[in-house]
């Protein structure tokens, strides 16, 4: 039996790096990462839920919005350099794609 495809949610800063020629290795990594990405709609409930995440986990406001979007999309991985690598939120794990392996 095959496992379901992994859904990945990408933080906006990775999109910025992909288009910034001054970012060098980060740009190369970001361009490679963008082969897979997902999106979700923003609505009032997303903002309310993000606010609750912000308070509960002491996150930066924009990180909480990104996190809530990732959770709503059903992603199991959130690629972001803004949150702690390896941090888990339910089934979602934060991974910093710019850390050296």
SS (H, E, C) the chain: CCCCCCCEEECHHHHHHHCCHHHCHHHHHHHHHCCCCCCCCCCHHHHHHHHHHHHHHCCCHHHHHHHHHHHHHCCCEEECCCCCCCCEECCEEEECCCCCC
Q: Report the number of distinct structural domains present in the chain.
A: 1
pLDDT (tens place) for every residue of the chain, 101 residues total? 334 566 667 777 887 787 788 989 988 888 787 765 645 566 778 778 888 988 999 998 888 988 998 898 888 999 998 899 999 999 999 999 888 65
DSSP bridge pairs for 66: none
Cα-based distances in Å from 42 to 7, 13, 39, 68, 80: 18, 18, 10, 10, 19
Say if 101 falls within a structural domain: no
> pTM of the entire structure?
0.62
Say if 3 falls within a structural domain: no
Q: Which domain holds residue 82?
A: 8-95
Say if 26 falls within a structural domain: yes
Say if 30 falls within a structural domain: yes
pLDDT at site 72: 87
Say if 1 falls within a structural domain: no
């Amino acid at each position: 039996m095959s496992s379901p495809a992994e859904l990945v949610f990408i933080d906006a800063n990775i999109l910025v790096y992909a288009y910034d020629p001054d970012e060098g290795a980060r740009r190369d990594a970001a361009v490679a990462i963008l082969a897979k990405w997902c999106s979700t709609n923003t609505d009032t409930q997303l903002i309310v839920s993000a606010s609750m995440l912000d308070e509960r986990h002491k996150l930066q406001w924009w990180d909480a919005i990104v996190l809530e979007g990732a959770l709503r999309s059903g992603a199991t991985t959130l690629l972001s350099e803004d949150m702690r690598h390896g941090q888990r939120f339910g089934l979602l794990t934060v991974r910093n794609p710019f850390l050296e392996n």
